[in-house]
Structures are given as structure tokens and as C-alpha cells.
Amino acid sequence: MTYDKELAAAKKAASLAATLCQKVQKALLQSDVHSKSDKSPVTVADYGSQAVVSFVLEKELPTELFSLVAEEDTGDLRTESGQETLQRITKLVNDSLGNEEVYADTPSLSTEDVLRAIDHGKSEGGAVGRHWVLDPIDGTKGFVRGDQYAIALALLDEGKVVLGVLACPNLPLASINQHSSESSHDKVGCLFFAKVGEGTYMQSLDGSSPVKVHVSAIANPEEASFFESFEAAHSLHDLSSSIAKKLGVKAPPVRIDSQAKYGALSRGDGAIYLRFPHKGYREKIWDHAAGCIVVTEAGGEVTDAAGNPLDFSKGKYLDLDTGIIVTNKKLMPSLLKAVRASIEEKVSSL
């Protein structure tokens, strides 16, 4: 079947990267958190995860042209002060690959091999051919806090997302909606995956059999709950609360980091995800590609504030009208109306 071997490789790569990230999150030292030139945090796990995914995809799919658009680059790791970090990343990567039987005979990667694997992520993407899209840790701030994060991997074919995998190591296997009990949150670690036209599935990261998931069927906004970023710097919380109020949503927002929001929404834990970055911020494709197909294949819709589907064919960035809106097909028309009204109010009050 189409993209079968690509999906198998993507699941394997994301699961292995998730194991590496879990290990680092457990032992997280302050020295593992560095600041990139744009002041956002990056950890040894972000780099390690990118190297592992890049290595596994190339190994598993040797006959295909390999193009990867990924978040991290090796600039800081090639400096004098980056050498110790690079050594640690190399050890982490070798430890995780060494634990896999199939790679046990592969010689250890050198620091140069690791740099090369990370640098594979330099592709610009676009509308022609196939490109993998990777966020090695989405929600680094959540990761550092000990909260939610995701390894998000998608494949673009001629500008369209054709498969997506979301590994969410800290997401409970049971629903996180407001009615579920705390005790059902004990077992964590979800792997969501979707292929175009074939639906979305979830399994546990430790390998249970996959179950098909669907977005919430709620049509009455009063019964709906909504997700947004934990970080107020990433999304205007006051704008989403005005939209929710206008729509008649009663429940308070559920604030969690990363594309775990898309995963949770794809299985109906909540019905709406609203994201309104501050003025001037440009969304990157790796922050949405995997989440987008996971939700759409589960029956949901993902649009910008004008109701247009997201266009992943323009390179690294998404050119958007204002924000990102995710919900089921029944709620979308009234949600878009509330979004427009709230944005107009906001503009006229300035």
C-alpha cells in the first residue's frame, strides 16, 4: 500500500526518539538547556531526537531521495563551547541506537556523523517531490518543565501532508477531558499516526495494538472544551477566551504544550484548539504538519482564521491569516463566525 514502508519507518524513528527524550527529561540538568539565537530553549534531547530520526529514516528507506525539513541546526554545536554538548548528544544517540537490535551491529556514530545527521534537516521543503518534516521536540518549554511535549514527524508529497506521526511520551492513554478521573492518567505515552485517506490510529508508545480514533462529535458548543498553549507568549489567551465566550463554551480552557493538543483532540478529549500568536510571529510547518493530518484523518478540520486550509507547500513557513483553528465539522461554521467577530472587536478596540 502507498506510504506503508514510510509510515513504518516514521513510527520506528519517532518511538526511538521518544525513548531518548524520556531518558533526558528524567535526568534533566539545568546545563542541558541552552538558548538559541532567537532566545528559545533547546536541549541535548532536541538535537539527539533530530539525529536519531534522521539516522533511522535514512537507514530504513535507503532507496528514496532523502529530504528533511527540521527545526534544529548544528551552528551552536560546531563552536568551541558546543563541544561538550556535542559529546553528550553523541553518547545519547549511540545509547538509543545500540538498544535497538537491528542497529546493534551498526558501528557507533562519531560526533561528525551526528552533526551530519542533524544537518540533513536543512531542506527548504516546497511543492515539488517528497520532504520529511520534523519537530524533534515540540513544546521544549513543556519538556523542560516536566510537562507535555511531542516528537512530530510528517511526510509531504507534492506539497501535501500524506502521513504524520506524533509521539507524546507524557500524554495519558486515557482521555484528559474534564470528566476523566485523575487515576486514569496513570498510564502515559501515546503514539498517534495517520495516513492520507486511511484514518488516524493511536497506540501506546510501548507497543499496544493500534485503535482507530475519532474527533469529538459534539455539536453544541456549551458541551465543548478547548485547548490552547500553556505559554501565553505563544498564543493570545484573552482572544481565545473571548471567542469561547461568544460561542457559548462553558468549560475553562485546557492549557497544554505541544502538538499533544492535536493528538488529544483527534481522540475527542476536547473539541476545539485555538492558536493566535502575537503579531509578527510566523508559524513553521514542523509545528503543525503531523498534528494537522492526525486531526483531519480523525474527521476534524484545521484552518486559519479566514477558514482556509493550511498550505504546507510554501517552504518552512505557513502563510496564514491570523491564527490556527481546529475543531470538528459540526462546530467549525459557528466557531469561524465567533473567531471573526472577536477579531473585529479586538481591532476596533485598538
Ligand X SMILES: Nc1ncnc2c1ncn2[C@@H]1O[C@H](COP(=O)(O)O)[C@@H](OP(=O)(O)O)[C@H]1O
User: Which are the catalytic amino acids?
Assistant: 46, 140
Q: Would you say 54 and 70 are in contact if contact means Cβ atoms under 8 Å apart?
A: yes
Please state the closest distance from residue 97 (CB atom) to Mg ion, in A: 21
Among 6, 119, 228, 287, binds Mg ion (CB under 5 A): 287
Between 189 and 323, CB nearer to ligand X? 323
From ligand X, Mg ion, none, interface partner of 231 (C-beta below 5 to 8 A by class): ligand X
| Residues 138-157: x where in contact with Mg ion by CB under 5 A, - otherwise, as a string | x-x-----------------
Is residue 257 part of the contact set for Mg ion (CB under 5 A)? Answer: no
How far apart are alpha carbons 235 and 115 in whole angstroms? 33
137 is in an annotated binding site: yes
Neighbours of 105 (CB within 10 A): 7
Please count the residues of the chain. 350
- For the chain, how big is the Rg over CA atoms in Å? 20
CB neighbours of 82 closer than 8 A, spacing ≥ 6?
A: 76
CA-wise closest residue to 241 among 122, 250, 85, 200: 250
- Sign of the torsion formed by the C-alpha atoms of 31, 190, 294 and 229: negative
Please state the closest distance from residue 149 (CB atom) to ligand X, in A: 7
Q: Would you say 137 and 49 are in contact if contact means Cβ atoms under 8 Å apart?
A: yes
CB neighbours of 336 closer than 8 A, spacing ≥ 6?
A: 303, 305, 307, 325
Order of strands across the sheet that contains 324-328: 254-255, 226-228, 272-275, 324-328, 300-304
How far apart are alpha carbons 97 and 55 in whole angstroms? 9
From ligand X, Mg ion, none, interface partner of 288 (C-beta below 5 to 8 A by class): none
**What is the chain's percent helix, strand, coil content, to nearest 5?**
40, 20, 40
321 is in an annotated binding site: no
Q: Would you say 137 and 45 are in contact if contact means Cβ atoms under 8 Å apart?
A: yes
By CB under 5 A, how many residues form the interface with Mg ion? 7
- Residues in contact with ligand X by CB under 6 A are 40, 71, 135, 137-140, 142, 229, 231, 233-234, 257-258, 277-278, 281, 284, 287
Residue with nearest beta carbon to ligand X: 229
From Mg ion, ligand X, none, interface partner of 229 (C-beta below 5 to 8 A by class): ligand X
Between 40 and 110, CB nearer to Mg ion? 40
Helices (H), the chain: 4-26, 44-60, 83-98, 111-119, 140-145, 237-247, 260-266, 289-296, 332-349
Is residue 283 part of the contact set for Mg ion (CB under 5 A)? Answer: no
From ligand X, Mg ion, none, interface partner of 317 (C-beta below 5 to 8 A by class): none
Pairing of strands 188-195, 211-213: unpaired
From Mg ion, ligand X, none, interface partner of 257 (C-beta below 5 to 8 A by class): ligand X
From ligand X, Mg ion, none, interface partner of 278 (C-beta below 5 to 8 A by class): ligand X
Site for Mg ion in 32-51 (CB under 5 A): 40
Among 6, 71, 119, 283, binds Mg ion (CB under 5 A): 71
138 is in an annotated binding site: yes
Q: Would you say 322 and 304 are in contact if contact means Cβ atoms under 8 Å apart?
A: yes
How far apart are alpha carbons 38 and 295 in whole angstroms? 30
206 is in an annotated binding site: no
Please state the closest distance from residue 310 (CB atom) to ligand X, in A: 15
Please state the closest distance from residue 210 (CB atom) to ligand X, in A: 25
Please state the closest distance from residue 263 (CB atom) to Mg ion, in A: 14
Between 109 and 324, CB nearer to ligand X? 324
Is residue 135 part of the contact set for Mg ion (CB under 5 A)? Answer: yes
Please state the closest distance from residue 285 (CB atom) to ligand X, in A: 11
Q: Given the rule CB under 5 A, which residues bind Mg ion? A: 40, 71, 135, 137-138, 140, 287
Enumerate the known binding-site residues.
71, 135, 137-138, 287
Enumerate the known binding-site residues for Mg(2+).
71, 135, 137-138, 287
